[in-house]
A and B are shown apart, each in its own frame.
Chain A
Amino acid sequence: MYEKEKDLISAFLRGEVDRRGMLKGLGAAGLTAGTAGTLFNMMSTRALAADFDWKAHSGKSVKLLLNKHPYADAMIANLQTFKDLTGMEVTYDVFPEDVYFDKVTAALSSSSSEYDAFMTGAYMTWTYGPAGWITDLNEWIKDTTKTNPQYGWDDFLPGVKASCAWNGQPGGALGSEDAKQWCIPWGYEQNNLSYNKEMFDKVGVGVPKNLDELLTTAAKLTKDVGGGVYGIGVRGSRSWATIHPGFLSGYANFGQKDLNVSADGKLSAAMNTPESKAFHAKWVQMIQESGPKDWSTYTWYQVGTDLGAGASAMIYDADILGYFMNGGDNKMAGKLAYAPFAANPAASAPTPNIWIWSLSMSNFSKDKDATWYFLQWATGLEHAIFGATKMDFVNPVRATVWKDEIFRERLKKSYPGYVEMHDISAPGAKIHFTAQPLFFDLTTEWAATLQKMVAKEVPVDEGLDKLAESINRQLAEAGLG
């Protein structure tokens, strides 16, 4: 029964038939979506198990620490596949983001062996790695006896993969030859514009092409849309998270940096150059004129919900935030559009700073080999395809998924402009911060300075000079400057 269909799916999994051809074939065979899905999962599992002993750790168990996120939801929805494939048990704790990273820090700093693997961002590994809390995953990736030959390490987007690798030297380039792979990328976010097309049409403005246009467009939207709608949503809380999305993406587009790295590896503040001051002045003006009234309390959550609720006309933030706000029961669902954004008119392309939800292995894991089995499955192609096509696992980190026509068409149909935005900005997308252990100290202070500037407590020039002075002092105290 279903032998022909099984052959068709097997051919697809071997790369002999494309996804469209397989779906057409299954449709012609009269298979229902449910049956086709079951067959596909079954054949995927068989294909995965073909050249690799997935049962090597059967009967063992791993425990995960997860952040409440659609990517975690997608993994949980597919977890049975992993259990069937390996015979392993997986348990997990899920925490909301407000407390998630504190929970991770508490678990790791106490050398707790409760969790084997956990979700993280690349910035966090700059603390966890040198502290000895997480494992360099190169040891497993490069071990052919422990890694499925079909894993496809080269399939990961190079910039994203490199962003999760650091040699531990303050100022060391991400993805360098001697870098340790502190985490495996899972899903990532670029920072671009998501906007309310209906509001733009009502006011008669086009999509801004650079920072100056962003200022004027946001101001016009604030003035003309009415109903208390403001022009541009960006983050403003006293946290590193305010600096990394739109702000740093635009800042990097002007060729500006957070820190200078001298030839002898010493770090120094780089944010009080004339160009940086000019950028800050415009950013501050934009928030003062067209940002949310209580901007200094804004996290990603408020930025997103305002767009989804029709309280803001556009955001310069994570693209997946714009994606999620265009669906579900959001008031503005179906009315949002997306655009790549290069803040510098002289720049040839956008340079979005990225956030990467990744998976790391705890150095205190009781069974690292078994944990690696989970990690390679969760970051493997089959799960990525499942997440991208059946769940909201947007912005996958594998090139194959981005090439998948079904995935692209699904996005194009429901989220016009999203794929184009991604493709245009992807080449310049990477982490634009300097990797160093004081990342959170410096960015939190940077955000606090930005708050003072927006509140007109300190002029931009003076604020940045003071910030640079303070950062240089901290770097020197920590032996980095």
Chain B
Amino acid sequence: MASVTQSGATPRGFRISKKVLPYVLSLPALLVCIGILIPFFSAVVYSFQRYRLSQPWARQFNWGENYLNFFTDSGFWNTLRVSLVYAGTTVVLELLLGLGIALLLQRRSTVNNFISIMLLLPLMTAPALAALMWKLMTNPGFGILSYFASLIGLENFRWASSPDTALLTVVLVDIWVYTPFIMILLLAGLRSLPTQPFEAAALDGVPRSFVFFRITLPMLTPYILTATLFRLLDSIQQFDIIYAMTQGGPGDTLTVFQVEAYLNFFQSTNVGRSAALLIILWAITYILSNVFIKNWLRLRERARGEA
């Protein structure tokens, strides 16, 4: 009886027509999209409101006043500047370091494989925990990095507590945590490149620098663009490291978008302003992503000989 049921045809009532099937199959994706879009559009609506949780009676649409206020607010321009400087600095440095390490580890060997695994350890550390570790290491009283700084004549180096060096300190932590991410992506890219061009160059006795700039780098560019895009999006939204180490200070030295938005929501309960800040951050990341993806597609087309 059971075998009859299993091998028998599906009852007519349960058949899904070929026209409907694609819609049914895409339903989960549609639900995910809705799940993403509801909070997003809620934030957009909030950003157009005067909305403080501590003054619920004053909640009303102010039609872009939150955004307009930013233009005359020096704090906002500082936030924009700090966020871009932080993201730009970390991404460039991590890219250079990651590429350098990937090139060093390019050749497959037991030692290189072991080193690449060890280098991934910072990436497995939660950023907030990394910030805490660095906070201890940079303590002017007992921190080991302060001790090393004193050995090279930098007495009383204040790391994250001075406006002059706070950015440098958090950038160092970011580099420590995320360089392995770039390294592993580029290493995978390097190891997957076709060997023929390199063999031909070796036979022709082409100088190494020429090989690097004319063969390796162009072939690696899609990987570099992907790694840069991921890191840039992440870095411009940095929160954990900066907040755990400095809370955005000293002064307004490190008040990046996420820190400002967090303080606006959780401390000031200013939902409208917080949402407006995050929508601006979204717009910036959207524009940056578009630039990168368009370049990536152009490169891919060129590689296929379509452009």
Contacts from A to B (Cβ < 8 Å): 101-102, 105, 109, 126-127, 130-132, 228, 237-240, 292-297, 311, 437-438, 440-441, 444, 447-449, 451-452, 454-455, 457-458, 477-479
Contacts and interface: CB of A to CB of B under 8 A. Distances in A.
A452 B251 contact: yes
Contacts of B247: 237-239
Contact of A297 (B54, B58, B245, B269): B245
Contacts of A440: 267-268
A238 B53 contact: no
Contact of B161 (A295, A311, A477): A295
Given A237-B247, A293-B158, A437 B55 contact: yes
Contacts of B55: 130, 437, 478-479
30 contacts: A130-B54, A131-B54, A131-B269, A228-B141, A238-B246, A293-B140, A293-B161, A294-B160, A296-B246, A296-B249, A297-B246, A311-B141, A437-B54, A438-B54, A440-B268, A441-B270, A448-B251, A448-B252, A451-B250, A452-B250, A454-B250, A455-B162, A455-B163, A455-B250, A457-B163, A457-B251, A477-B69, A478-B58, A479-B55, A479-B58
Contact of B54 (A126, A447, A457): A126
Contacts of B69: 477
B285 interface: no
Nearest to A103: B266
Contacts of A454: 250
Contact of A293 (B56, B141, B251, B269): B141
A449 B135 CA distance: 23
Contacts of B161: 293-297
Given A440-B268, A455-B162, A130 B56 contact: yes
B119 interface: no
Contacts of B181: none
B231 interface: no
A102 B269 CA distance: 11
Contacts of B48: none
A324 B276 CA distance: 43
Contacts of A458: 251
Contacts of A102: 266
A126 B139 CA distance: 36
Contacts of B141: 228, 293, 311
Interface string B262-306: 010011111000000000000000000000000000000000000
A237 B266 contact: no
Interface of B: 52-56, 58, 69, 135, 138-141, 156, 158-163, 245-252, 263, 266-270
B82 to A, nearest CB: 13
Given A238-B246, A238-B247, A451-B250, A438 B160 contact: no
B253 to A, nearest CB: 9
Contacts of A237: 247, 249
List the 9 shortest-distance A-B pairs measured between CB atoms, nearest first.
Answer: A238-B249, A294-B161, A437-B54, A293-B140, A452-B251, A296-B250, A451-B250, A440-B267, A127-B54
A438 B270 CA distance: 10
A101 B158 CA distance: 29
Contacts of B140: 292-294
B53 A294 contact: no
A37 B252 CA distance: 55
B56 A240 contact: no
A438 to B, nearest CB: 7
Contacts of A451: 249-251
A296 to B, nearest CB: 4
Nearest to A294: B161
Given A297-B249, A311-B141, 5 more contacts: A127-B53, A127-B54, A130-B54, A238-B250, A297-B161
A457 B248 CA distance: 16
A297 B156 contact: no
Contacts of B248: 238, 448
Contacts of A292: 140
A144 B247 CA distance: 47
A240 B249 contact: no
Most buried by A among B159, B251, B263, B268: B251
A448 B75 CA distance: 12
A296 B169 CA distance: 14
A198 to B, nearest CB: 19
Most buried by B among A237, A238, A457: A238
Contacts of A130: 54-56
A381 to B, nearest CB: 34
B64 to A, nearest CB: 15
B269 to A, nearest CB: 6
A102 B267 CA distance: 8
A254 B243 CA distance: 34
Most buried by A among B135, B140, B159, B247: B247
B2 to A, nearest CB: 47
A240 B251 contact: no
A131 B54 CA distance: 5
Nearest to B143: A294
A438 B252 CA distance: 19
B263 A297 contact: no
A441 B268 contact: yes
Contacts of B246: 238, 296-297
A440 B56 CA distance: 17
A102 B262 CA distance: 10
B168 to A, nearest CB: 14
A368 B268 CA distance: 28
B135 A297 contact: yes
B67 to A, nearest CB: 14
A452 B253 CA distance: 9
Given A294-B158, A455-B250, A444 B267 contact: yes
A88 to B, nearest CB: 31
A438 B269 CA distance: 9
